[in-house]
Amino acid sequence: MPASALIAFEARKTPIQARSAVTVEAISEATIQVLLTHGAERFTTTRVAARAGVSVGTLHQYYPNKQALLFAVLENHMNHVAETVEAACENARIKPLAEMIREMVEAFVDAKMERADISGALYRVSANIGGPALIKRISERLRKAVEAMLQTAPDAKLPPDKFAIDTMLAAMAGAMRSLLEAGPSPGAVRKLREQLVLLCQSYMMAATSVR
Amino acid sequence: MPASALIAFEARKTPIQARSAVTVEAISEATIQVLLTHGAERFTTTRVAARAGVSVGTLHQYYPNKQALLFAVLENHMNHVAETVEAACENARIKPLAEMIREMVEAFVDAKMERADISGALYRVSANIGGPALIKRISERLRKAVEAMLQTAPDAKLPPDKFAIDTMLAAMAGAMRSLLEAGPSPGAVRKLREQLVLLCQSYMMAATSVR
Amino acid sequence: MPASALIAFEARKTPIQARSAVTVEAISEATIQVLLTHGAERFTTTRVAARAGVSVGTLHQYYPNKQALLFAVLENHMNHVAETVEAACENARIKPLAEMIREMVEAFVDAKMERADISGALYRVSANIGGPALIKRISERLRKAVEAMLQTAPDAKLPPDKFAIDTMLAAMAGAMRSLLEAGPSPGAVRKLREQLVLLCQSYMMAATSVR
Amino acid sequence: MPASALIAFEARKTPIQARSAVTVEAISEATIQVLLTHGAERFTTTRVAARAGVSVGTLHQYYPNKQALLFAVLENHMNHVAETVEAACENARIKPLAEMIREMVEAFVDAKMERADISGALYRVSANIGGPALIKRISERLRKAVEAMLQTAPDAKLPPDKFAIDTMLAAMAGAMRSLLEAGPSPGAVRKLREQLVLLCQSYMMAATSVR
DNA sequence: CATGAATGAGGTTTCATTCAT
DNA sequence: TATGAATGAAACCTCATTCAT
């Protein structure tokens, strides 16, 4: 999907008056709530409007269609995760490779778990609302952040491979998804965090030393 | 989703007569074709029936509802992948750990790529048809197969951890999914194969030696 | 509008079973009734379905959309008029020019008046449903019929001019439209018939003798 | 539609201040533009307001509803045509019948063509906004103007028949409409002008001499 | 006066599923 | 058994109009 196709999902109108900002926020929150309580299949614009306490008309004034609504929430969530991970990468520069990876992975897992409910619900719809294109964009951001971080590692023998980083990120996201779709228990989260750290560490070490 | 819920997705009748078997096969194939040509969103039972050359009534005689239809195809695909991987695991016993992992991973990637189109299309719907439950079932099968294989590794110091294997499989599947959703180029597939082998090898080595 | 654009207005499905023929007829008649009783502005598919005694779903099985529904009725009506006029032209060959024109004009007026209600109602919608394209098609038919008839006139000095015939037909249709939109009284119809005959006769005589 | 019904379509307030006049003019022009660029079907008050650079609220202050908006433009256009024809009739008094008709017809065709785009666009909506009633009013004006003109013709043997004049005007308007709906080429316009002159001349000559 | 946020009835259309033939 | 006509709930979305600011 070309970048231009995303335009269709952008919000229709920017709030000018104060009250409309409240409305937009209400709709956004209602979107999540409906997604959580009714599931992706029973997610309808009417229900969202009702939950938000506004009319369908109002909803469509801000989001041209259902996809735009979901896309906005998805984008929000992904941006939050991306920003968190980027910050972690920034913060982990110059530290030893293993430490870098640990901090990055933990930031990712924690950011996802922070709103585990949303994450899980969004997986159900992301494919139908231009999710893949967004994921691509976010992946690229993360790849760059990780790449920049790795280049400051004092103990990495080789420059890191773009594709390897992509693979690591995809693997990490995939494992996380698995967990979220299964419904995560607190213990499982802790274990996954550990395992993912180990997985990414061992992979990155192998990938930056071998060629 | 509890296991009992799966009953609703099972095919309604077992084909006994030859005529039925043909019909079922035609419907199954049509399902894939419609999924591929029209996409998940425009996938309708009417279209499937038309493509299969049967009436909607007939279709509903074999599959009680739309979900069952999709579930059957998904199950088929997953079973095929599972069987391929299980066979690879069987075949790789007693070999060195790195070799084991390589064969298992390559079997997985190849099986997925064999019908890359189906894989990609199914991702779009799996969440809505009880896919997660099925994935859980399949994951367990694969975990067991890998576990059994690993126990025969002459160079693994520690008994493998169930959770680690799950993590590896989820990571592997997640990376594969990423690739398929992005639209895989031949080159990218080859590279992912290599990287995934490396990823799983390094992770498993770390996971079976450290504790 | 190219001819291909008309495809969108064609009926969706040809009735196979006997009962569906009844349904189609009922829908067609209901379309006219709703048009007459509610007017073009309050014409909705829901109302048509209700009036026809079928569900909205059934209606859309035969007519993909509202336009198709109206177009079908319009086409029907126009075809009827065209056929009547064509028959009159056929029948008036070789007669004197004035007689020819009289028979043609009277056939036209009578055909229109036969279902004056429909005619009037259809004017309100024709522009929005591809009417102009259809009118073009019908006009051409009529022009050819009139042309062929005129060529057999024993007392016409010059070969008739295509454009003149078109003008005459447009004028005739326009005057008729005026009357129908005003709501025709029986007396007015009789007078218009006479006047239109005179108008067309004098024009055709002038147009076939002068150049 | 009774005359009283027209009241609903009249503009709500008379522009007294200069600022209002500008606004009204902007809205009026925007109405035409939206009609031309979006078509009758996608004509909305919101779009008109946006194009005019005012808010929907303001628009509704000057025009109580959508119909009033369109009606005003239609009325404007028709009045312009009527005035032009009336002036031509005034100017053609006492001249020979054929000359009278020529000048009247040419004035009509030229007035219509002057804003051919508007004419065409208005045909699409006139039926839904009380157009027929307006047309009746305008027709009467034209009939009177033509009637008065004809009474001064030195070479007309009989007093002209009201109904005949109505018929002529309706025929003329109908032919013009046909042309405009087909999309007029410059050549076609010239030819139609000629033909309409001939048509009206021959008809009027026949109608004023015969009884 | 002007604004534009909000309304919500009302429209079109889809499609899984049933059931008489 | 196979057919396909019929169902109708339910979805999305539009847009004329109102009214608090």
| Nearest CA-CA distance, residue A127 and chain B, Å | 6
| Pairwise CB contact (< 8 Å): B181 & A41 | no
Q: Per residue in C80-92, pLDDT tens?
A: 999 999 999 999 9
Q: Is A151 exposed, middle or buried (0-12, 13-18, 19+ CB in 10 A)?
A: exposed
Question: What pLDDT score was predicted for residue D123?
Answer: 81
pLDDT at residue D66 greater than cutoff 60: yes
Question: What pLDDT score was predicted for residue A210?
Answer: 54
| Nearest CA-CA distance, residue B87 and chain A, Å | 24
| Nearest CA-CA distance, residue A173 and chain B, Å | 7
A45 beta carbon to strand F: under 7 Å: yes
C-alpha span between C21 and C10 (Å, rounded): 16
* pLDDT band for position A101 (cuts 50, 70, 90): very high
| Pairwise CB contact (< 8 Å): B178 & A173 | yes
Q: What is the DSSP letter of B78?
A: H
Nearest-10 Cα torsion for C55, C57, C58, C63: 130
Q: Which of residues 155-194 of C touch strand F (CB under 7 A)?
A: none
Are C105 and C200 in contact by the 8 Å Cβ rule? The answer is: yes
| Nearest CA-CA distance, residue B188 and chain A, Å | 9
**Which residue of D lies nearest to C123 if distances are taken between CA atoms?**
D127
The residue among D65, D122, D178, D194 with the most chain C CBs within 10 A of its CB, best to mutate, is: D178
pLDDT at residue D18 greater than cutoff 70: no
pLDDT at residue A1 greater than cutoff 60: no
Q: Give the DSSP letter string of B119-168.
A: HHHHHHHHGGGTHHHHHHHHHHHHHHHHHHHHTT-TT--SPPPHHHHHHH
D193 versus B118: the higher-pLDDT residue is D193
| Pairwise CB contact (< 8 Å): A124 & B123 | no
CB atoms within 10 A of CB B10: 13
C-alpha span between D34 and D52 (Å, rounded): 10
Question: What pLDDT score was predicted for residue B205?
Answer: 93
Distance of CA B67 to the CA centre of its chain: 17
Question: What pLDDT score was predicted for residue A61?
Answer: 94
Domains of chain A listed by start with CATH number: 10-64 (1.10.10.60), 68-209 (1.10.357.10)
C-alpha span between C138 and C122 (Å, rounded): 15
Is chain A adjacent to chain B, meaning 3+ CB pairs within 8 angstroms? yes
C-alpha span between B54 and B62 (Å, rounded): 11
* AA identity, residue C7: I
Q: How far is the CA of D119 from the C1' of E3 (A)?
A: 33
**Which residue of B lies nearest to A161 if distances are taken between CA atoms?**
B195
Distance of CA B208 to the CA centre of its chain: 26
Q: Per residue in A38-90, pLDDT tens?
A: 988 889 999 999 999 999 999 999 999 999 999 999 999 999 999 999 999 99
Average per-residue pLDDT in chain C? 87
| Pairwise CB contact (< 8 Å): D128 & C182 | no
The number of residues making up chain A comes to 211
* pLDDT band for position D98 (cuts 50, 70, 90): very high
Question: What pLDDT score was predicted for residue B123?
Answer: 82
* pLDDT band for position D14 (cuts 50, 70, 90): low
Q: Per residue in A127-186, pLDDT tens?
A: 778 888 899 999 999 999 999 999 999 987 787 789 999 999 999 999 999 899 888 889
- With CA atoms as reference, report the closest residue to B74 among B129, B8, B141: B129
Question: What pLDDT score was predicted for residue B182?
Answer: 82
C171 close to D (CB below 8 A): yes
Q: What is the DSSP letter of B194?
A: H
Chain C positions touching D133 (Cβ under 8 A) are none
Q: Per residue in A9-46, pLDDT tens?
A: 555 666 556 678 899 999 999 999 999 899 888 899 99
Are D153 and D92 in contact by the 8 Å Cβ rule? The answer is: no
Nearest-10 Cα torsion for D64, D68, D69, D74: -170
Closest nucleotide to A60 by C1' from CA? F13
Are A59 and A45 in contact by the 8 Å Cβ rule? The answer is: yes
Q: What is the pLDDT along chain B (211 residues), one digit of tens a residue?
A: 333 334 445 555 554 455 688 899 999 999 999 998 888 888 999 999 999 999 999 999 999 999 999 999 999 999 999 999 999 999 999 999 999 999 999 999 999 999 888 888 888 788 778 888 899 899 999 999 999 999 999 987 787 789 999 999 999 999 999 899 888 889 999 999 999 999 999 999 999 875 4
Query: Which residue in this structure is represented by tokens 């709500």?
Result: D12
Are A35 and A125 in contact by the 8 Å Cβ rule? The answer is: yes
Question: What pLDDT score was predicted for residue D5?
Answer: 39
- Please tell me which residue lies nearest to nucleotide F11, judged from CA to C1': A44
Q: Per residue in C47-78, pLDDT tens?
A: 999 999 999 999 999 999 999 999 999 999 99
Question: What pLDDT score was predicted for residue A103?
Answer: 98
The residue among D134, D190, D199, D205 with the most chain C CBs within 10 A of its CB, best to mutate, is: D199
pLDDT at residue C16 greater than cutoff 90: no
Token pair, residue D41, equals 């079907």
Query: Which residue in this structure is represented by tokens 């607190």?
Result: A186
Helix axes B162-182, A131-150, angle to 10 degrees: 120
| pLDDT above 70 coverage of chain A, percent | 91
Q: What are the start-end ranges of the E strands in chain C?
A: none
Question: What pLDDT score was predicted for residue B28?
Answer: 93
- Name the maximum alpha-carbon separation found in chain D: 60
Phi-psi region of B183 (alpha: psi -120 to 50; beta: other; left: phi over 0): left
pLDDT at residue D211 greater than cutoff 60: no
A60 beta carbon to strand F: under 7 Å: yes
pLDDT at residue C4 greater than cutoff 60: no
* pLDDT band for position C45 (cuts 50, 70, 90): very high
| Pairwise CB contact (< 8 Å): B195 & A136 | no
Q: Give the DSSP letter string of C99-153.
A: HHHHHHHHHHHHHHHHTHHHHHHHHHHHGGGTHHHHHHHHHHHHHHHHHHHHTT-
Nearest-10 Cα torsion for B27, B30, B35, B38: -130
Question: What pLDDT score was predicted for residue A10?
Answer: 56
Are B111 and B84 in contact by the 8 Å Cβ rule? The answer is: yes
Question: What pLDDT score was predicted for residue C208?
Answer: 84
Chain C positions touching D196 (Cβ under 8 A) are 167, 171
- With CA atoms as reference, report the closest residue to D128 among C38, B208, C185: C38
pLDDT at residue C32 greater than cutoff 50: yes
Token pair, residue D127, equals 């039926």
Distance of CA D202 to the CA centre of its chain: 24
C-alpha span between B60 and B63 (Å, rounded): 5
* pTM listed for this prediction: 0.84
pLDDT at residue C116 greater than cutoff 60: yes
C143 close to D (CB below 8 A): no
Chain D positions touching C196 (Cβ under 8 A) are 167, 171
| Mean pLDDT calculated for residue range C169-196 | 91
Enumerate residues 22 to 81 of chain B having a beta carbon within 8 A of any beta carbon in chain A.
Answer: 40-41
Chain E footprint positions (protein CB, under 7 Å): 1-20
| pLDDT above 70 coverage of chain C, percent | 91
- With CA atoms as reference, report the closest residue to A77 among A13, A32, A127: A32
**Which residue of D lies nearest to C194 if distances are taken between CA atoms?**
D164
A12 beta carbon to strand F: under 7 Å: no
B191 close to A (CB below 8 A): yes
Question: What pLDDT score was predicted for residue A11?
Answer: 59
Q: Which of residues 5-64 of D touch strand F (CB under 7 A)?
A: 42-46, 56-57, 60, 64
